[in-house]
Structure 1
Amino acid sequence: MSQQIQSTFTISRLLAASPSRVFQAFSSFDEKKQWFSGPADWVQTEAALDFRPGGSETNIGGPDEAHQSEFYAHYYDIVPNERIVYTYEMHHEGKKLSVSLATFEFEPEGEGTRLTLTEHGVFFDGHEDPALREEGTRWLFDGLAAYVERVRA
């Protein structure tokens, strides 16, 4: 019998860039490729971004062909510089790990942006620990922060 675990986490981070700058890092295909990736040994084999309500995103890669991770997203709601809502599936080595609903909120705070992600995930058959997903997402936030603070619009 298959098993599932449901998990919700929230990450909030103050970034030293305007909401429009941070939003651009999500909405521009070229920019998102700069920070939304794996570790140093990661090779991206496929990527696409159709950033609009009803659009989708694909990001596939890994250290080698035998160890590929697959991210498939579908965008539901986008309010420029304010909110992004999408669902996504994660697969690894051909196994579906999870399906998640992710909501990003961009709020001005001082001269920066308070970026808040709330994610609710359903994790299947013990293929992934939800705590590892949160850890990986925090790592992506680190990359986003470094990118928007280093590369000004």
Structure 2
Amino acid sequence: MSPTLDVRNLQHSVELSAAPEAIYDALLDARQHAAFTGFDAEIDAREGGAFSTCEGRNRGYTLVLVPGRRIVQAWTHRDWPEHHYSIATFDLAPMGRGTRLTFTQVGVPAEAYAWLDEGWRTTYWGPLARYLAMRRRG
């Protein structure tokens, strides 16, 4: 019998000054993803498609796509126990002239929670906001 893995759930809410479709595209387009994170990405942007981001540190499969509204992925990290996946959900809702992105990641190994929580903020949300602002200015 294998020991039970202690897991936690992570949730962030971010306001971004771009349309939901622009954020959806930036998250799923490998070229744009690499542009805002600064790390290579390979993304098959279809339900069932595989992805690898941050130069292979993160990988998984896209489970659900609702264009411009929702992305659900089975997500793992190279330092996590073998065969352990969390479920990452990106919900996009129009808010005034921008978007509220609500991000939830269920099943994060407890020992990874602190660095992953910070990593989403510093590698994704901040850089994504700057990338979208730069694109808007042209």
- State the TM bucket, normalised to the shorter chain: 0.7 to 0.9
In structure 2, the gaps of 5 or more residues are none
Is 1:134 paired with 2:134?
no
Q: Give the letter for the 2:15 counterpart.
A: L
Task: State the partner residue of 1:111.
Answer: 97
Q: Alignment length, in residue pairs?
A: 134
Q: Is residue 4–residue 122 contact of structure 1 (8 Å, CA) maintained in 2?
A: no
Q: 1:91 to 1:37 in 2, by over 3 A?
A: farther
Q: Is residue 12–residue 104 contact of structure 2 (8 Å, CA) maintained in 1?
A: yes
Task: State the partner residue of 1:88.
Answer: 75
RMSD after superposition? 2.2
Give the one of 43, 50, 56 matched to 2:44. Answer: 50
Alpha-carbon distance between aligned partners in 2 of 1:99 and 1:132, rounded to the nearest angstrom? 17
TM-aligned CA deviation for residue 134 of structure 1? 0.8
Alpha-carbon distance between aligned partners in 1 of 2:112 and 2:25, rounded to the nearest angstrom? 31
Q: Is residue 20–residue 99 contact of structure 2 (8 Å, CA) maintained in 1?
A: yes
Alpha-carbon distance between aligned partners in 2 of 1:79 and 1:135, rounded to the nearest angstrom? 27
Is 1:101 paired with 2:79?
no
More helix by share: 2
In structure 1, the gaps of 5 or more residues are 39-43, 62-68
Q: Give the letter for the 1:54 counterpart.
A: G
Alpha-carbon distance between aligned partners in 2 of 1:73 and 1:36, rounded to the nearest angstrom? 17
Aligned with 2:75: secondary structure?
strand
Moved more, 18-27 or 109-118: 18-27
Is 1:15 paired with 2:1?
no
Aligned with 1:25: secondary structure?
helix
Give the one of 102, 121, 129 matched to 1:145. Answer: 129
Q: Give the letter for the 1:105 counterpart.
A: D
Q: Is residue 10–residue 108 contact of structure 2 (8 Å, CA) maintained in 1?
A: no
Alpha-carbon distance between aligned partners in 2 of 1:28 and 1:60, rounded to the nearest angstrom? 14
1:15-55 alpha-carbon deviations (Å, 9 max, x no partner): 011111111111221101112346xxxxx5xx311011010
